[in-house]
């Protein structure tokens, strides 16, 4: 092991990442638009002070009122590449408090784990990235280029934070990004795409005893959903099971009728709405998938003169893929092997991350971090301290190898 690596290891502070994770968990940052202070502002302001105190150049940029991004820069002063670490400040709701053994905003430690909402997704990994940059800074090991800490709001929503980060030009000269999400420190080089779609079928209100005097949109929505299930099976047969991402999917998640007004058991409604959560894998073209669905609607309309439906795409996030031989992947792989003495474990992200939009902006990404990938959004969410400390080292070494 080189002197530089030993020096960095001596500056990795286990207590720092543990205490920072706990402090971040204790600042509630569940987005609740109707609750005063129910956003990411408090945690963002805490981070601004923390990052300034460790000597970084810090920027606070409000995306919408009360929902800021925080950006911190550690510049070597020498020309070179730019590496970005990305970790969001928002967390999902805690849900039913009775389902928790631990205080969801307590940051409690038990049996070598930190418990609380965001411990795994992704305040622990955000703390690890900050601690990694701090370790590099304390070691004073020279490197070229700079590191950017991108800490956006709203990853759990429509990802307005990362979109604003990109729109403001921050991603323009980034050569590689590490997306700090719970992946058990596996190297995720691909992630599923997502399409969010709202379907509506239109009918005519009528008495349930005399349905032929109306047009039933519910039965027509049922036909449409059956055809979409067939489309999913066709895509599975065409593409097979992806080695890292598994199967593509077309999943109806909400079914509502009537769309407006109160439902009543003896009334045929005038409209029916269904939402689709579609997850795609490499090899699927989102435009073609949309055309396939529009073709189904057109065919059903020809088969039934009374069939009328609309399709609206409300969010479109493409799948991503970064080659194993890209320098950012190689840097993380080398860091992993240096730390563990084992070859890296490659995988894929089953959901979408802020990295989706960085990828669209031309930034090569890799996703890795501490935490069981099945724990996010669960009650009693936790992160193992030992794994979290390993993540600090992984991020630190990755930055060194990428920039030096």
Q: What is the pLDDT of residues 38-91, one digit of tens each?
A: 999 999 999 999 999 999 999 999 999 999 999 999 999 999 999 999 999 999
pLDDT at 9: 79
Do 152 and 89 contact (CB within 8 A), yes or no?
Answer: yes
pLDDT at 10: 82
pTM of the model: 0.93
pLDDT at 3: 65
**Reduced DSSP (H G I as helix, E B as strand, rest coil) percent helix, strand, coil of the chain, to 5:** 35, 25, 40
pLDDT at 2: 62
pLDDT at 8: 77
pLDDT at 351: 86
Phi, psi values for residue 237, rounded to 5°: -65, -35
**How many whole angstroms from its chain centre is CA 244?**
17
- C-alpha angle 230/233/237, rounded to 5°? 140
Cβ-defined contacts of 30-35 (< 8 Å, 24+):
30/90, 30/91, 30/92, 30/93, 30/94, 30/117, 31/67, 31/90, 31/153, 31/154, 31/156, 31/157, 32/93
Low-confidence ranges of the chain (pLDDT < 70): 1-4
- C-alpha angle 275/376/253, rounded to 5°? 10
Q: What is the pLDDT of residues 93-134, one digit of tens each?
A: 999 999 999 999 999 999 999 999 999 999 999 999 999 999
> What are the CA-CA distances from residue 367 to residues 50, 129, 183, 370 (Å)?
25, 12, 8, 11
Q: What is the pLDDT of residues 358-381, one digit of tens each?
A: 999 999 999 999 999 999 999 999
pLDDT at 168: 98
């Amino acid at each position: 092991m080189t002197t530089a690596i030993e020096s960095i290891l001596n500056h990795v502070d286990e207590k720092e990442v543990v205490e920072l994770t706990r402090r971040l968990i204790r600042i509630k940052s569940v987005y609740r638009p109707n609750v005063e202070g129910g956003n990411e502002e408090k945690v963002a302001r805490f981070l601004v002070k923390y990052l300034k105190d460790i000597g970084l150049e810090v920027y606070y940029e409000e995306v919408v009122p009360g929902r800021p991004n925080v950006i911190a820069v550690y510049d070597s002063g020498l020309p070179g590449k730019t590496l970005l670490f990305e970790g969001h400040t928002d967390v999902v709701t805690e849900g039913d408090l009775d389902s928790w053994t631990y205080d969801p905003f307590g940051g409690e430690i038990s049996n070598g784990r930190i418990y609380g909402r965001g411990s795994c997704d992704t305040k622990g990994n955000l703390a690890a990235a900050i601690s990694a940059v701090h370790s590099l800074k304390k070691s004073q090991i020279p490197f070229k280029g700079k590191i950017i800490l991108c800490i956006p709001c709203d990853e759990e929503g429509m990802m307005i934070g990362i979109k604003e980060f990109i729109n403001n030009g921050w991603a323009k000269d980034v050569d590689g990004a590490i997306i700090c999400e719970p992946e058990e420190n596996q190297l995720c080089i691909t992630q599923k795409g997502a399409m969010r779609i709202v379907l509506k079928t239109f009918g005519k209100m009528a008495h349930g005893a005399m349905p032929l005097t109306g047009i039933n949109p519910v039965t027509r929505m049922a036909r449409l959903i059956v055809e979409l299930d067939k489309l999913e099976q066709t895509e599975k047969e065409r593409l097979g099971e992806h080695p890292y991402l598994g199967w593509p999917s077309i999943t109806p998640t909400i079914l509502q009728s009537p769309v407006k007004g109160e439902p009543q058991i003896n009334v045929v409604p005038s409209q029916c709405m269904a939402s689709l959560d579609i997850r795609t894998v490499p090899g699927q073209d989102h435009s073609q998938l949309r055309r396939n669905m529009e073709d189904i609607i057109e065919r059903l309309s020809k088969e039934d003169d009374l069939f009328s439906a609309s399709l609206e795409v409300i969010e479109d996030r493409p799948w991503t893929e970064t080659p194993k031989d890209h320098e950012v992947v190689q840097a993380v792989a080398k860091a992993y092997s240096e730390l563990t003495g084992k070859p890296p474990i490659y995988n894929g992200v089953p959901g979408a991350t802020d990295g989706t939009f960085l990828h669209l902006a031309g930034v090569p990404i890799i996703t890795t971090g501490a935490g069981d990938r099945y724990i996010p959004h669960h009650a009693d969410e936790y992160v193992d301290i030992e794994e979290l400390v390993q993540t600090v080292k992984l991020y630190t070494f990755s930055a060194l190898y990428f920039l030096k």
